[in-house]
Every structure is written in C-alpha cells, then in structure tokens.
Structure 1
Amino acid sequence: MISLKHGRFSARAVGADEVIARLLIPVNANITAGGIQYNNLFYECDPEIASGVRVFGRTTCEARIDDNCVDYIYVRFDKNSIFKKHYLLKKRDVFKGKAHLDTDVMADWVDTQKEINLFTLDSLSNINNKDEFNRKGNERLNEIYESRRVHGKDIKKNRKNELDSLGRTHVANGRSEPLLPSSSNVLLLPGREENKDG
C-alpha cells in the first residue's frame, strides 16, 4: 500500500465545458477574420484573436463538436489552454438546432443549386445581349420569309403563262385545261391475254 503521507499529488480544477469537450469528437477548425470556421459554419471569436488572424492569416486550432447540435463548438487555441464554448454566429441562425449531418446536406444542396444556376458577369452580359440576338434572329427570319413570298407569288398565273407559251392549253370559261395528245400518238400495250397467245 502506498502511503499518502509521502506521496505527492497535484490537480487542477476544471469547468464543466472542459469536461464535456473532452468527451466529444475532436476536429480541426480554422480561425478566420470572420470568426471560427468549421465546415460551412461560423462561430463567434474573441476580437483580439480575430485581429491577430487578420494580421497573420488563417490559423487552425483544436475543436470539439457535438454531432447532434451545431449551436456551439468547444475550442482551445493551444495545447496548454482549456476548451472554451463558442456559439454560432447570428448570420448562421438558419442552421440553429440542427445536426451537423443536416447542415452538410443543406450546404451540398446549396452548392449544387449554385452550379446549376451559375450566375456570373458573363451570364449577365448574355442576358443583356439576349434581346439583341432575338431582334437580329427575327430580322433574318423575316428576310427568309419575304424571299419565299416573292418566289411563290402568283404561282397559278406563272403556270398558266408558261403553258400558254408552250401551246399546251386552251382557255375555256376562264379555266385552263391541258390538251390531250391525239390517239395516233398513243401506243397500246399488249394485255394479259395477248401475252398468253403470243
């Protein structure tokens, strides 16, 4: 048995946040000028830490998350410090009370919608040019239809004039009828019965 009289013992008091944080899933978070970032979520950050990040750029820190709730995250900035609880920023309140998996699904859906409906400066200029394209296209179509109208105008009259010039019609009661060739020019082909005899 070890005597407590000669043994040495050291301990420190820890808060509830530290105990809970050590039981949760360890992850890495980024400290940005806009706050502490984990995936698509931003959490509040101390102003002096955020100002340091503005000078030195983005840094990473150890964090602990509760998979079932995105409302808060436990973060410590170095190995010797304790975990502190940081709450979700107001601008991300749409995710409040949801699980991390749900927020990932929502973020993926938003990303796919952005890819499908990609809106850039080029697409904006295309929208502005769309009316011009439509106007030019309609002008071209009208030119094509005009040339077809001119080409197909007075077809009956043109046909009659052509047949008159060839002498193949005579006009009776204002209607043109084609003249049939005389019977001397018609050749009779042998029928079925004549083929059997021959």
Structure 2
Amino acid sequence: MMYDYGGYIYKGREGATKVVKSPRNQGERWRFRELLRKKTSITHPTLWGDFFLHHIPCPPIQCALMKDKAKLKNEEVKTTLLDTDSFDLYDKLEFIDTLEQLGLDHHYTKEIHEQLRNVSEAGDRDLDLPTTSLQFYVLRKHGYRISSDVFLKFRDDRGNVVSNDARCLLRLYDSQLRVHGEEILDNIVTLTKS
C-alpha cells in the first residue's frame, strides 16, 4: 500500500515502512516524521469487536412488548410504594432511598411525597436508632422540618450516640444534613468520623 503526503511517498506493509523519497531539510523531515508517526501508530482492537457494525435493532413488535413490560413494572413499583400494610417504616424509607439512588425517583415523585408526608405527620414514634437515622436523613433531604432532638433518647452517659451496628453508623453519617447550632449532630459527626 502506498501513501502520498505532500510529495513524500512511503510504502507500508504490515507495519514495515520504507521511505521512497526522503525529505530535504529539517522542517520537511519533522513534518514527514509526524505524518509517518500518525499513520503507523499501533492501535489495539476495540473491546466491543464489530458488534455495532452488525447490530440489528429490535423489531417494532419487540420494542412495544418491552415498553408494555416496563409500564407493568412501573405500576408494580407504584403499588408497592403506596402499600402501607406490607412494609414497616424502615423498609419503606429504604425503598424510597434506593429509588433515589438508582435515579428512578422522578417516575414516582407524587407517591414518594405522599409517603413522606404521611411519615412526617405521624410524628415521633418509639423507633430504633437505624430507623430514626434513616427517617431523619430522608425527611431532611426532601426539605421536611425534623428536629435533631429525635437522637436524644439514644445518648449514653457521656452524651454520645452509641451503636455497634455498622449499617446504623453509616446511616448516622449520611444523616449529616445539619443546621448550625445542632449540637447532637455535631457529636454524631465526631463519632462517625472516628
């Protein structure tokens, strides 16, 4: 195979190059080397192979079936989200948080706000520390006013919130949506960072 770059011809065959006509001065040599380097650089085969060259899109019938299946799953998630009897508070809040982490919460905005309003109106109940920290985190993230005093009942003699559960400590660390002057949240931050 022969290539012509501005009057300088070289032959290339399976990586071997042979200069037929050499450049005359330094500027031409530099230009020729650059052109030669660009043409003979080693490229690795793509990870995808030739999949996209031979890819055939799905037929319209199959696309319609996939859209119908997606609508059914969407409705199933909505009914699961609105079902108040089958989930306890922790599972419901974790489900909402998981939907948000997956980036699917925009499909269920109305249902999520309805559930969070119900949780907020229910007020302070006798909850364990993981549920309280998750409730605090999710409600604060959505702009609901919830006092940091919900953590007061979990303090020990020295005023620190103590837990041996790693998942609970992670939730406490996540619940750092604090406002200036919330001393108990400052203590929680100190606890979870150490």
Higher helix share: 2
TM-score by length of 2: 0.21
TM-score by length of 1: 0.21
Higher strand share: 1
User: Considering only CA atoms, is the larger Rg found in Structure 1 or Structure 2?
Assistant: 1
